[in-house]
Each structure stands twice: as structure tokens, then as C-alpha cells.
Amino acid sequence: MCLHGLTGTGARYRKLAQERLAHRRVLAPDLRGHGHSPAEPPWDVPTLVHDVLETLQARGVERADWVGYSYGGLTAATLTAAAPERVARLALLEPALQLRPSTCLDYARKELEDQSFASEEEALTALLQDEWILHAPRDVLEEEVRTNMVRGPDGRLRYRYSRLAAIAAWSEMARAAPAVADVPTLIVVGERSPLTVDVARYPSAEVVTVPGGHSVLWDAFDETAAALERFL
């Protein structure tokens, strides 16, 4: 079960699922307020936990390995603390665990601004200049523009996620980190990430550092995928 981060969609796990986990059954839903999922509130992490467990239950799966990136990592860690019996292994990719409130406030304020683009090329240029992305291949970012943006009535491209849900998410990421559960845990961190992951909270976890920044599935796909393959 793979959970994407804020502003993303389950499609961000396509390459991992097809190229490295093809022998496994991979579920990667769009979280509430993202992609093609409903955007109605509440937008808190416990509701996301309920949503993904409901998705799993509907497919007849009681227990799974969980992979969570960034905000999806917070969601997966919260789920594991609440229902460890549903988790065989937990892999956290740059998890957004108890971020600085000032950082969350700054990014929540940015969601009040209209982030739109006149063309796919303009959107791609913005991604290439994003401080959270350092080494992502151009074709990966082109796919992100194609799959995670939609043209509005004004003709401009915008991401599919709800900005209201994103503001709520930044508030959730400022909360205290979830309790540590007794399950095998892997934490993957980017060596140049602007996000500080306090791995000391998970003293028994295996910690792997990969090149690049926060977007480990884009900046360091091979290294991140190799760590997941070994762990899972």
C-alpha cells in the first residue's frame, strides 16, 4: 500500500510498481483532496487513515506492507501507531513528522496564492526550478505535468489537489509525531533535503540516506527503489 505526499497522486508510484515491484500487488490510491478522489472535508490525518484502511478492506486485504512519502509518510506512521496489526512492514520516505510550525505556516500561506500556468512548458519550468526537487529526470516531471494538472475554465493549468485540503495538511504536519509502533521500519532520507527528519524518534528503524533532496522517488529513484526492494 503506497501513499503519496501533499500535492501528489498515487500515479507517482507507477514507475516503482512497474519496474521494481512488478511481482507484488501494489495499491496506490489518491488521498482525499488529491487527484481523482473526493475533496470533501474533513482533511485531517485520522480521516485519511480511515480512508485508506477502507480502501484496503474493500479489496479484501487485512494486512499489508506500507510505503509512505512525505505527508503520506505521516499518514502511514499514524496508521501504524493506531493499528499495528494492519502493518507488516513500514517504509517511510522523507516522512513529514512534526515539522516546524513556522515552516508549515509559510507553506500554508503560499496555498492562498494562485499557482497556475499558461502552458505545460511553463509548468515544467517551474518544477525544474523547485527547491524541493534537485535531480529529477525531465521525463518524470513531464509525466507529472500530464497526469497531475488540469486546465481550468480560464484556460490555465493547475494541480489537481485542493488548496483547502493542503492548508489543513500543513497544520497536521505541525502536530506532534505519532507514537512509534513495534513493526519493522525503514526510513529513507535525502542527503540534501530541506526537510529535517528526526530519525532518533525511530531508534530501531533502518535508515538509508540517498542522493538529492526531498523528492527521493524522483531525485534518487534507483537508490530508493533498491532500499525498498531489500526491505520489503
Rounded CA-CA distance 156/151 in Å is 5
Query: Where do the domains of the chain lie, and which CATH numbers do they carry?
Result: 2-231 (3.40.50.1820)
Distance CA 76, CA 68 (A): 6
**What gap in Å lies between CA 53 and CA 48, rounded to an integer?**
9
Query: Which residues are CB-neighbours of 170 under 8 A, at least 6 positions away?
Result: 6, 104, 105, 107, 108, 111
Given a cut of 70, the residues of the chain with pLDDT beneath it are none
Q: DSSP letter at 154?
A: T
What is the predicted pLDDT for the residue at 201? 84
Q: Is there a contact between 31 and 4 (Cβ–Cβ < 8 Å)? A: yes
Single out the residue of 195, 231, 218, 13 nearest to residue 95, CA to CA.
195
The pLDDT score that the predictor gives to residue 74 is 97
Q: Enter the pTM of the model.
A: 0.95
Q: How many CB atoms lie within 10 A of CB 179?
A: 12
| Residue 144 pLDDT | 95
Buried b (16+ CB within 10 A) or exposed e, 190-224: beebebebebebbeebeebbbebbbbbbbbbbebb
The 3-state secondary structure of 28-84 reads CCCCCCCCCCCCCCCCCHHHHHHHHHHHHHHCCCCCEEEEEECHHHHHHHHHHHHCH
Check residue 198 and give its pLDDT: 85
List phi, psi (to 5°) of 67.
-125, 125
**Predicted confidence (pLDDT) per residue in 209-231, tens digit:** 999 999 999 999 999 999 999 99
| pLDDT tens-digit map of 148-163 | 999 999 999 999 999 9
Amino acid 42: pLDDT: 97
Residues 6+ apart with CB under 8 A from 23: none
pLDDT for 2 equals 98
Q: Which residue has the cell 500554508?
A: 108
The pLDDT score that the predictor gives to residue 195 is: 87
